[in-house]
A and B are shown apart, each in its own frame.
Chain A
Amino acid sequence: MSSNRLPTLVALLCGFLVINGRSATPAFFPDDPLQIDADTALDAGKAVRIDGSNAFDFAEHTFLKPGDHRDIHAVNVSTIDEVPDSTWFTNRIGRRAMSIDEIVRGPNTETVPNVDDWPIVEGKSSGITPGYRIEGPGGRLYQVKFDPPSNPEMASGAEVIGAAIYHALGYNVVQGYVVEIDPTRITIAPTATAVDMRGNKRRMTREDVDQLFARGARLPNGKYRATLSRFADGKPLGYFKYFGTRPDDPNDIHPHEHRRELRGGRVFAAWLNHDDSRGLNSLDMLEGPPGRQFIRHYMFDFGSIMGSGSTMAQVPRAGNEYILEWTPALKTLATFGLYVRPWILVDYWEGAKSVGRFESDFFDPVAWRPEYPNPAFENLRADDAFWAARLVSKFSDEAIRAVVGKANYSEAGAADHVATTLIKRRDKVVRAWLTGVNPLVNARLAADGTLTFENAAIDAGVARPGASYQLTWSRFDNATGAAVGTSEDTRSTEPRALAPRSIVNADFVTVIVRTIHPDYPTWATTPVTFTFRRADTQWDTVGLDRNGSSSVKNISAP
C-alpha cells in the first residue's frame, strides 16, 4: 500500500463510522410509543409571571401572524400518533371509558358549595364579566362571576358545560360550580380591595358590591346566579401563548403551534363555539415543592362558548368570521352592503334567554373561526383534526345531555336545545374530520400473525361500510428506519389480514394499508403505515404514520 493512499483510507474509515454513528438513533426506541412526556423533570422555579395585553394580542395575531406556520407533523405526538400525558394534557376519554358521572363531575372535587358568608377579599382583576373573589374554608380562593341581566343562567351554564367537556377531553381546567348568591349574606373582608377607574387599589365597600350586583342577573328569589371558580393549586404565572415556548420554562420544548392538543383545540372549539379560545384565556400555574417546581397549563374561562358571549348573547359573527377579516369586509364595503355575509341570515332559536345564540344547521366545522387567528389552530392538519374528532366522537348523546343538565337551566326547552345542538354539531365535526384522512386505528398484530385494525369513520357511522384494504408487508430495519427485503402484497375486504410467513420472522414488521372506499378515493392514496415490534411471542404496535396528511386548507367539508 502506497503511503499516499493512506489518508484516503483513513478518511473513508472515519466516514463509515460517522454514517454508522448517525444510524445509531433508531426509528423506534425501547420506550416507544411514549405514554407520558415527563415535562415536570426540570425545575421551573425561576419562571416569572406573563401578563398579556388584549389589544396587542389582537393586533399581533391579526396583522403579524406570529409562530411557525410550516406544514409539519405535530411535534409532541408519540410514534403511534397519540398525545402523551403531560402538564398540558391528560388522556381521559380518548384512552379509557369514562362513566357519565365522571364526565359530568369534570374537574370538581366538591359538592356545590354554599357560599353564604364567605368573605369577599378582592375585586375581579380581569375580564369584562362582573364579579369578585371570595375566600372559602381553609383560605382557599374562589372567583364569582355573574350572569348578565339580559341573559340569566347563560354564562354560568356555558362555564360549567365547557369545563366538564374540556376536562373529559384531557385538558386541565379549574373547578367550577353554579351557585346562587344571596345579597343579604354578603360579607366583605376588612382587607378586601377594589381597583378604581384610575387603576388604584382601595378598600372595597358595600356600594362596590352593589354595583356589581346591578350588572348581574337577579333571580326571582332575589338571589344572583353566578359561576364559582376555584383557584387552581400553585402560583399563577399568567398565560401561555399559542406559539413558541416559554423562554423561562426548561420543560417547555415543543413549539405550542405544533402541539397536537393545541392544534386539535380548533376542532373542540368549533364544536363548542369557543370563539374566545386564545392565549389570554389560558392559565399557567407553578406547582411543586421548591427545587422541583413545574408549570401546569390550564384552559380557562368558558363563559363565552356555545350561545353565550359572557355579557350578552353571542354575536352572530362568532365562529363564522374573525373580528377583522379583509375579504368579506372589502366586499361589503365595495357593494355598500349589498353583499350579505351568509351568517347574517342565520335564524337562532329564541325560546330561552339562557341559551343565547346557539345553532347547528349553519355550523361548518371546517370553516369555523375563533375571534382572531390562533397560530396553533391555523396549523391544524388533517391528522390533528382526526385525532381530535375521535375524542369528540366518544361523547355519547346521553353524556352530552347529562353534562348540559349540570347547567340547571330553568327555562323550558333550554337544556334540550343546548344538548340537541351540541349533538348535531358533534355529528358534523365527526363527519368532517374522521373522513379527512385514511381513518385506520387500533392496529394489532397477534402472535399468529393476524393483523386487526379498525376503520374509525365506518365504526362511527360517518362512512358507509364497504371498504376493502390493500396491504403491503415488509420487514423493517429499526436502525435505518426503512423497509428491507422483498415486500408482499395482500388484500382484504375486512379490517383484518394474515401477515405473510416470510415477513413475521423479523424483529420489526411494517405494513402499509391503503383503504379502498367508493366515497373516499383519497384513502387509497394516503396509506397508513403500521409498525410492530416483536416482544417475546407477542407484537407491540410501535408506529402509526399517516403519510398523506396535510394542512386542512386542502380539505373541504362534506
Chain B
Amino acid sequence: MHHATIVLWLAFAICALVAEFVFAQEPATRAETLQRRREEKAQHLQPPKPGRVEKTLLDLESGRLFERLLNPAEGLYPRIGNITSGSGFSLGPGYRQAGIFGGHANFSTFAAVSLSKYWMLDARLHLPRLANNHAAFEVHGQRYDFPKEDFFGLGPDSRREDEVTYGLGNTVVGVTGAYKPTPWLSVSGAIDHLQPTINARAEPGEILSLFSDGQAPGVLDQPTFFKYEAMIDVNTRQPRGNPRGGGRYALTYQRFNDTDDNRYSFHRVEADVQHYVPLLRDRRVLALRGLASFSDADEGAEVPFYLQRTLGGPDDLRGFRHFRFRDRNALLLQAEYRWEIFTAVDGAIFYDTGKVASRKEDIDLHDLESDYGIGFRFGTINGVFLRVEGAFGSSAGAHFVLRFGNVF
C-alpha cells in the first residue's frame, strides 16, 4: 500500500473516532436537550440585581415616601408648596399624628420657609369624628411673617407703577366647629383671635413712600381682632380634588371686631359659587366660578387694607400680579374648559374677569379686568398636584403660573 494511502486511512480512522466521541455527546432526546441547557445555565447562576434607579424607586415606595410627600397621613414629612400667594416655593418640616386622645383626635403641625423669606408656623388639633361622624371640632394656632407683600393702592384704578411692598405678620389662635348632617352639607362657625402687625417703611419701594394711612387704612397701627365666622357650604363636587361634576356653593359671613378702639371693625359677606359641567363622560369639564365679596365697616370705622379682598395672582386674575387690585368689595368670574390629555395630565383653557370697588353698587359687569390663558394640570383623577399656566391678554402683560394644587 502506498505510503500516502496509509496516512489517509489512518487520518480517516482518527477522524471517525473523534466524530464518534463528538456524536456521543449529542443529546438523544428533546428532554435531554433542555436538560443540558439547564445544566449549562446552572454553571452561571447569579442573584437578580436591580439597577440603581429601580432600587431607588423601590426604596422610595417601600418607605412610602411618595405618599408622605403628596398626602401624608402621619409622621414627620417634608412640607412642600406655597405658604401664601406670592410667597414662592417653600419647604419645611411637617408632622402629623393621627388617633390621639383615644383615637378621636389628629394633631398636625408644620413650619415652612420660602425662598422669599416668608415663613409660617401652624399647629392644629382636629377632632373629625364627633357626633357619629357628623361633627368636627378644631383648635388651631398660627404665626406667620410675610415680609414683601405687594400693594398697588386701593380701588380699580390703582396703577401698576405704584407697586410698593409692606411686611405682614400675624398671630392667629382660634377654634372651628362644623356640623355635617349629610356628606355634602356643612354648617360651620369659627372664632379667631388675630394679632396682625404691619412692617411699613417710607424708603423707596416701601408702602409709606407712596401711600398714607388715609390711602392704606391701618398701615400705621394695627389693633387686635376677634374674628367670628359662619359658613354654609354645599359641596357636591365629584371627585373633590379634581372635580368632574357637581359644585360647591358657599356663603360666608365674617365679623372682625377691633378689640382696641373699634376703628377697624367691619363685617363681610361672601358668596363663592363653583359649578362643574361634565362633558363627554367626564373627560371634558366646563368649570365655572363666581365670587362676590362685600365688606361694610362700622360707623366711623375703616376696613384695614391688609384685610381687604384682593384680586390678582395665580388663583383668581391670573394675568395680573399678586394682590394687584384691592378694595372693600370684589367680583370674580372664572371659566375653564378642561380636557383630559392622558391619565395624569389635563389641559385647560381659561378666562378670568373681575373687579374691585369701594362701593357695593359699583360691583357690576362694567369695566372688568380680564385675562385668558392655557395650562396643564398634573395629578390624578382625584386631585391636582401641580399646574403650569400661561395667562395673557391682561393690561399687565403675560404671566407664567407654576402652582401646587388646583385653581378651583
A-side residues, CB < 8 A to B, are: 1-3, 5-6, 9-10, 13-14, 17, 20-21, 24-25, 29-32, 34, 37-39, 41-42, 46, 48, 50-56, 60, 79, 196-199, 207, 246-253, 315-317, 323-325, 328-329, 332-333, 336-337, 340-341, 344-345
A42–B43 Cα distance when bound, in Å, is 11
With CB as the reference atom, state the residue of chain B lying closest to A238. B48
The answer to whether residues A253 and B30 also contact, given A323-B342, A336-B339 and a CB cut-off of 8 A, is: no
The complex places the Cα of A246 from the Cα of B37 at a distance, in Å, of 14
Q: In the complex where A37-B34, A344-B283 touch, is A42 in contact with B42 (Cβ < 8 A)?
A: yes
Q: Are A324 and B343 in contact (CB under 8 A)?
A: yes
A372 CB, nearest partner CB in chain B, Å: 10
Selecting from B52-60, B189-197, B268-276, B393-401, the interface stretch reads B52-60
| Bound-complex Cα distance A38 to B39 (A) | 12
**A323 with B343: CB separation less than 8 A:** yes
Taking the complex as formed, is B365 at the interface, i.e. its CB lies under 8 A from any CB of chain A?
no
CB pair A41 B341 closer than 8 Å:
no
* Contact A6-B45, Cβ < 8 Å, known A29-B30, A332-B339: no
Determine if A253 and B48 form an interchain contact, defined as CB atoms under 8 angstroms apart: no
Is there contact, CB below 8 Å, between A329 and B15? Answer: no
Pair B339/A29 contact, Cβ less than 8 Å = no
A316–B283 Cα distance when bound, in Å, is 10
- Tell me if B366 is interfacial: C-beta within 8 Å of chain A: no
List of A residues within 8 angstroms of B45 by Cβ: 46, 247-250
Cβ 8 A contact of B58, one of A56, A323, A328, A344: A56
Q: Beta-carbon contacts of B1-18 to A below 8 Å, as 1s and 0s?
A: 010110110011001101
Q: Give min CB distance, B119 to chain A, whole Å.
A: 26
Complex CA gap A290/B141 in Å reads: 62
CB of B64 closer than 8 Å to a CB of A: yes
Given contacts A324-B342, A333-B341, contact A1 B4 (CB under 8 A): yes
Q: Contact between A17 and B19 (Cβ–Cβ < 8 Å)?
A: yes
Kindly state the separation between the CA atoms of A13 and B53 in the bound complex, as whole angstroms: 56
- B residues 133-163 near A (Cβ < 8 Å) are none
Given contacts A9-B8, A56-B54, A324-B342, contact A24 B26 (CB under 8 A): yes
CB closest chain-B residue, reference A51: B58
In the assembled complex, the Cα of A21 lies from the Cα of B33 at a distance in Å of 16
Q: Is the Cβ of A6 less than 8 Å from the Cβ of B38?
A: no
In the bound complex, residues from chain A placing their C-beta under 8 Å from that of B280 are 337, 340, 344-345
Residues of B within 8 A of A253 (CB): 34, 37-38, 41
A251 to B72, CA, bound (A): 44
In the complex, residue of chain B having the shortest beta-carbon distance to the beta carbon of A331: B341
Asked if B58 and A1 sit within 8 Å, CB to CB, the answer is no
Q: Are A247 and B47 in contact (CB-based, < 8 A)?
A: yes
- Interface 1/0 per residue, B224-237 and A, CB below 8 Å: 00000000000000
Chain B residues whose CB sits within 8 angstroms of the CB of A248 once the complex forms: 45-48
Chain A residues with CB under 8 Å of B341's CB are 329, 332-333
User: Nearest chain-A residue to B283 (Cβ)?
Assistant: A344
Given contacts A34-B31, A56-B58, contact A250 B38 (CB under 8 A): yes
Q: Do A197 and B68 touch across chains, with their CB atoms under 8 A apart? A: yes
Q: Chain B: which residue is nearest A340 at the CB level? A: B280
Bound-state Cα–Cα, A345 to B29, Å: 56
Cβ distance B245 to chain A, nearest Cβ, rounded Å: 15
